[in-house]
Structure 1
Amino acid sequence: MKLDPFYLIVDSAAWIGRLAPLGVRLVQLRIKDMGEDRLRAEIRKAKALCAEHQSQLIVNDHWRLAIDEGCDFVHLGQEDLQTADLLAIRAAGVRLGLSTHDHAELEMAMAAEPDYVALGPIYPTILKKMKWAPQGLERIGEWKRRIAPVPLVAIGGLNPGRLEGAFEAGADSAAVVTDITLNDDPEARTREWIEKTDQWR
């Protein structure tokens, strides 16, 4: 399986409506606290927008709703991995991405036979408080050697100037949240990411 090298993560369908038309091919909808009805509506809207703009939608955490809504990709963190029904996810034909931060988590992830593995944070990140120190580029190479041919997603503190290092170290895709969503001009920043990642398509 080949992942697009530019992996956008946003917290609303509105963001997808704004940025998918620019050429985003891979986007994760990552919503943490929302009632089920509103969440279902957001997933439905995100799915329609992604279909309209030929973008792959990945639903974070909410695997039951993803199955209900006919989505074809979910991403789980380690806590969610321990409680998710992997058989139900596979039976529904849903592909699976998993987060990892250390060797023990990588072993757990690979046992679940994921469609990709994410490693983070590569650099310091402001997105959330992390108990893990920045992994650095060497860890990308180590992870890639251990999981190949499974695709590897690098996440955490990435920006256009750091992309070359991540890809040369072995990442197949680079995930971004705040470098775009907190930018003064998210559209222009998105175009910059697309331009920068073009060479790895």
Structure 2
Amino acid sequence: MSAVTDQTGQGPLPRFYPIFDHPDWLQRMLPLGVRFVQLRLKDRPVSELRAMIRAGQDLARAHGATLIINDHWQLAIEEGCDWVHLGQEDLDQADPAAIRAAGLRLGVSTHDRAELARALTLSPDYIALGPVWPTILKQMKWHAQGVEKLTRWKAQIGAVPLVAIGGLTPQRADLALAAGADLVSVVTDITLNPDPEARVREWLGHLA
């Protein structure tokens, strides 16, 4: 696996990278062994966002996990977070220099070559590509990218870790990793599962 290390710098991160929309999910999933996780919070008042980010950070640290904050880079800086993830639209409003000056590590979403070129100018700590398979997470203009594009992306980004996202299942994860992904990011395969805890245990066992 590529040189992504945990927040203590003691070794490679797990390949499993789930995304949740509330710290309550972290309370359920971190005890199962999730160690690299994103908190994706949308459309909430700033005071509520701050409280949720703070709660997520407390949970992550209590379980020795690394928390990535989606989008809210200013709050992530103020709350002493370790990572932030920015989509292309988020980048339009963000201050990458301030993020770096605060010591945060940075992940960036990409979909096409122009976005990849833009992301690489920021020296990101990982680059995400998606949706690799069709996804129901949100409406987007991008069709499924396919595993072949993961291979092309990895050839271009070299040592920068590559995250595959979009329509992932444990079986599809094998294809993504074989194509060049270093991490696989999962959302609805867990959150819409009738037994999310069992599904996370399956993921962790599959990628062990």
TM-score (norm 2): 0.94
Name the counterpart of 1:108. 118
- Matched residue of 1:8: which SS? strand
Looking at structure 2, the residues matched to 116 and 148 of structure 1 have their Cα atoms a distance apart, in angstroms, of 11
2:26 counterpart of 1:16: yes
Q: Secondary structure at the match of 1:58?
A: strand
CA distance in 2, matches of 1:192, 1:153: 19
1:144 aligns with 2:144: no
Which of these residues, 26, 40, 44, is aligned with residue 54 of structure 2? Answer: 44
1:90 and 2:79 are equivalent in the alignment: no
> How do 1:25-104 residues align onto structure 2 when only pairs under 5 Å count?
25-104=35-114
| Number of equivalenced pairs | 198
Match for residue 143 of structure 2?
Answer: 133
Query: Could you say what secondary structure the match of 1:66 adopts?
Result: helix
Of 156, 162, 165, 2:166 maps to: 156
Partners of 2:70 and 2:63 in 1: how far apart?
20
CA shift for structure 1 position 4: 2.4
> Which residue of the partner structure matches residue 170 of structure 1?
180
Distance in 1 of aligned mates of 2:97 and 2:171: 40
Distance 2:200 2:191 in 1: 9
Deviation at 1:112, TM superposition (A): 1.1
Distance 1:196 1:166 in 2: 13
SS of the counterpart of 2:207?
Answer: helix
TM-score by length of 1: 0.97
In the TM superposition, residue 161 of structure 1 has moved relative to its aligned partner by 1.5
Alignment root-mean-square deviation, CA: 0.7
Cα distance in 1 for residues equivalent to 2:189 and 2:197: 11
Secondary structure of 1:193's aligned partner:
helix
- 4+ residue stretches of structure 1 with deviation over 6 A? none
In the alignment, structure 1 residue 186 sits paired with structure 2 residue 196: yes
How far does residue 121 in structure 1 lie from its aligned partner after superposition?
Answer: 0.2
Cα separation, 2, equivalents of 1:55 and 1:84: 25
Structure 2 unaligned spans of 5+: 5-12
**Partner in structure 2 of residue 117 of structure 1:** 127
- 1:133 offset after TM fit, Å? 1.1
Looking at structure 2, the residues matched to 57 and 109 of structure 1 have their Cα atoms a distance apart, in angstroms, of 21
- Mapped to 1, the partners of 2:72 and 2:178 lie a distance apart of 33
1:6 aligned to 2:24? no
Gaps (5+ residues) in structure 1?
Answer: none
How far is 1:120 from its partner? 0.1
DSSP 3-state at the match of 1:122: coil
Q: Per the alignment, in what secondary structure is the counterpart of residue 67 of structure 2? A: strand
